[in-house]
Amino acid sequence: MSNIAHIEAIPVQAPAKEDDLDGSVDTLVVRITDEDGRCGIGECDAPPEVVKAFIDMPTAHLWSRNIAELLVGRDPLELTGLWETMYEATSYPGRRGLGIHAISAIDIALHDLAGRQIGKPAYKLMGGARRPFLTPYATIFPGMPRGRSITEILDVTEQQFQKAMNIGFHAVKMEVLYEDLVTDAQLVDCIRQGRRMLGDAMTMMVDFGYRWHSWHDAKWVLDRIEDCNIYFAEAAIQHDDLHGHSRLSRQTSIRVCGAEHAATRWEIREWIETGKVAVVQPDINRCGGLTEIRRISDMANLYGVLVIPHGWKTGITAACGRHFQASTINAPWFEFLSPDLYDSPLRRELVSPEPTITNGRMALPDAPGLGVELNDAALAKFRRD
Ligand code: MG
């Protein structure tokens, strides 16, 4: 046993594309070192300096404590106990949002470190394998319109679909964040074109990027693509409109899903009980880490709800998706941001190695911890502190 010796929160930033929507443009890397010098890494998808400030804040009182004071000297294998300690001791400023994003990054780093200490992959700390292989899905995001025509955007989408199929994916999500470039009727046509590009054998999901403020408008489009065999309809209406999600879910045969911004099982329970969604999509690096998504997926399973995590960050989050799906029965897919499909310096360079995909499948991870190594040269290049 080697206890926690040191915690670092390192803001990292790559050059941003103008007016785009790329969650992988920055990250907060958390690195936790044990008394023997072994390291575990984690990250979260929130403004890096703000989360760093949360992690580094000095203790004010019993419900607003400094994280390092809580963790240094503790055994990293006590994953759930440490999670509860952090949650309770930051409950005054935390409990949701940034406080949970901070705990997410730390919890991921603890899984990496604990796995390295015992020489086992992180999914074995999450209950072990529940499936023989992994099934990632690829998100195809051609970028925001930025003055392009819909024809130009669909051309990029088609090229990316082809590339995803060549890489070996069997499931693809079409991002249709076209804003007012298309009417709802034209959007229906775009999605039907997308299905024709992919052929009938591919699993196809659609992300609407919060297009509508009315569930009825969303229903109008979903009704007209019901014969396209769409696996799920993501972010059709506003994230906080859970009653709208409930109404929409009752009115369509397509699985309605969301919750990519949700934190903890407490918020996900509202998505399930009030929102009546078929699939929840918490991000492991935002919902509370690997400890919390384990609890979320166990809870969702009681309701017959699937958990297909969001993931648009670096290879650290991509690795988390693999360990989560490996150890989860009600996770038929996980979002896998492929560095070959989306041009992101941090996704490409920050950690390695990358898994291979064959016939839609990845092997279960076998290296200790998360199974990825921080690239020191990339960290030096992109760190902002
Ligand atoms: Mg999304």
How do strand 306-307 and strand 334-335 relate by DSSP bridges? unpaired
pLDDT tens digits for range 210-266:
999 999 999 999 999 999 999 999 999 999 999 999 999 999 999 999 999 999 999
Look up the CATH number of the domain holding residue 58.
3.30.390.10
In-domain check, residue 383: no
Judgement on whether residues 187 and 333 belong to the same structural domain of the protein: yes
Q: Which amino acid is at 38?
A: R
Name the residue range of residue 98's domain: 4-119
Instruction: Calculate how far, in angstroms, residue 306's C-alpha sits from the geometric centre of ligand 1.
Output: 16
Q: Which two tokens stand for residue 251?
A: 């009115």
In-domain check, residue 130: no
The whole-number average pLDDT for the span 44-49 is 97
pLDDT reported for residue 18:
74
Percentage of residues in the chain having pLDDT higher than 90: 98
In-domain check, residue 41: yes
In-domain check, residue 131: no
Instruction: Calculate how far, in angstroms, residue 309's C-alpha sits from the geometric centre of ligand 1.
Output: 10
Q: Last residue of a domain, which of 88, 119, 150?
A: 119
Q: Which two tokens stand for residue 339?
A: 């560095």
Q: Last residue of a domain, which of 119, 150, 175?
A: 119
164 by DSSP, 3-state: which?
A: helix
Q: How far is CA 204 from CA 118, 170, 211, 225, 336, in A?
A: 39, 9, 19, 12, 14
In-domain check, residue 268: yes
In-domain check, residue 381: no
Instruction: Calculate how far, in angstroms, residue 260's C-alpha sits from the geometric centre of ligand 1.
Output: 7
Judgement on whether residues 39 and 150 belong to the same structural domain of the protein: no
Instruction: Calculate how far, in angstroms, residue 281's C-alpha sits from the geometric centre of ligand 1.
Output: 9
Instruction: Calculate how far, in angstroms, residue 183's C-alpha sits from the geometric centre of ligand 1.
Output: 20
pLDDT tens digits for range 116-151:
999 999 999 999 999 999 999 999 999 999 999 999
pLDDT tens digits for range 149-206:
999 999 999 999 999 999 999 999 999 999 999 999 999 999 999 999 999 999 999 9
Instruction: Calculate how far, in angstroms, residue 240's C-alpha sits from the geometric centre of ligand 1.
Output: 14
Q: How confident is the model at residue 20 (pLDDT cuts 50, 70, 90)?
A: confident
CA–CA dist 122, 47 (Å, integer): 26
Instruction: Calculate how far, in angstroms, residue 208's C-alpha sits from the geometric centre of ligand 1.
Output: 8
Instruction: Calculate how far, in angstroms, residue 72's C-alpha sits from the geometric centre of ligand 1.
Output: 36
Q: Which two tokens stand for residue 239?
A: 């994230």
Instruction: Calculate how far, in angstroms, residue 310's C-alpha sits from the geometric centre of ligand 1.
Output: 7
Instruction: Calculate how far, in angstroms, residue 253's C-alpha sits from the geometric centre of ligand 1.
Output: 20
Closest CA to 263 of 117, 19, 95: 95
The answer to whether 126 and 47 are in contact (CB under 8 A) is no
**HSE of 203, CA atoms in CB hemisphere, 13 A:** 18
Instruction: Calculate how far, in angstroms, residue 237's C-alpha sits from the geometric centre of ligand 1.
Output: 12
pLDDT of residue 345 exceeding 90, the answer is yes
Instruction: Calculate how far, in angstroms, residue 3's C-alpha sits from the geometric centre of ligand 1.
Output: 38
* Average confidence score pLDDT of the chain: 97
Judgement on whether residues 237 and 331 belong to the same structural domain of the protein: yes
Instruction: Calculate how far, in angstroms, residue 256's C-alpha sits from the geometric centre of ligand 1.
Output: 13
Look up the CATH number of the domain holding residue 262.
3.20.20.120
pLDDT reported for residue 305:
98
Q: pTM of the full predicted structure? A: 0.98
Judgement on whether residues 106 and 146 belong to the same structural domain of the protein: no
pLDDT reported for residue 304:
98
In-domain check, residue 12: yes
CA–CA dist 63, 127 (Å, integer): 31
pLDDT tens digits for range 368-383:
999 999 999 999 999 9
User: Taking each helix axis from N to C terminus, what angle separates 289-302 and 97-118, rounded to the nearest 10 degrees?
Assistant: 100
The whole-number average pLDDT for the span 84-91 is 98
Instruction: Calculate how far, in angstroms, residue 228's C-alpha sits from the geometric centre of ligand 1.
Output: 20
The answer to whether 329 and 130 are in contact (CB under 8 A) is yes
How many domains is the chain built from?
2
Closest CA to 51 of 4, 6, 12: 12
CA–CA dist 165, 187 (Å, integer): 23
Instruction: Calculate how far, in angstroms, residue 362's C-alpha sits from the geometric centre of ligand 1.
Output: 22
Instruction: Calculate how far, in angstroms, residue 299's C-alpha sits from the geometric centre of ligand 1.
Output: 22
Judgement on whether residues 187 and 310 belong to the same structural domain of the protein: yes
CA–CA dist 290, 309 (Å, integer): 11
CA–CA dist 41, 7 (Å, integer): 10
Provide the 8-state DSSP code for 61: B
Q: Which residues pair with 134 in a beta bridge?
A: 362
Instruction: Calculate how far, in angstroms, residue 298's C-alpha sits from the geometric centre of ligand 1.
Output: 23
Instruction: Calculate how far, in angstroms, residue 154's C-alpha sits from the geometric centre of ligand 1.
Output: 18
Closest CA to 321 of 332, 336, 306: 336
Instruction: Calculate how far, in angstroms, residue 380's C-alpha sits from the geometric centre of ligand 1.
Output: 30
- Burial of residue 20 (CB within 10 Å: 0-12, 13-18, 19+) is exposed
Respond yes or no on whether the N-terminal peptide bond of residue 353 is cis (omega within 30° of 0). yes
For the CA atoms of 78, 26, 261, 143, the dihedral, rounded to the nearest 10 degrees, stands at -140
Backbone angles phi, psi at 34, to 5 degrees: -95, 180
pLDDT of residue 19 exceeding 80, the answer is no
210 by DSSP, 3-state: which?
A: coil
Closest CA to 51 of 6, 100, 15: 100
The whole-number average pLDDT for the span 74-82 is 98
Judgement on whether residues 19 and 114 belong to the same structural domain of the protein: yes
In-domain check, residue 126: no
The answer to whether 272 and 305 are in contact (CB under 8 A) is yes
Backbone angles phi, psi at 233, to 5 degrees: -115, 110
Rg (CA), the chain: 20
310 by DSSP, 3-state: which?
A: strand
Instruction: Calculate how far, in angstroms, residue 210's C-alpha sits from the geometric centre of ligand 1.
Output: 9
Q: Which two tokens stand for residue 214?
A: 């009315």
Judgement on whether residues 297 and 177 belong to the same structural domain of the protein: yes
Judgement on whether residues 213 and 103 belong to the same structural domain of the protein: no
Instruction: Calculate how far, in angstroms, residue 342's C-alpha sits from the geometric centre of ligand 1.
Output: 15
Q: How confident is the model at residue 1 (pLDDT cuts 50, 70, 90)?
A: confident
Q: Last residue of a domain, which of 119, 151, 168?
A: 119
How many degrees, rounded to 5, is the angle at CA 371 between CA 260 and CA 109?
A: 60
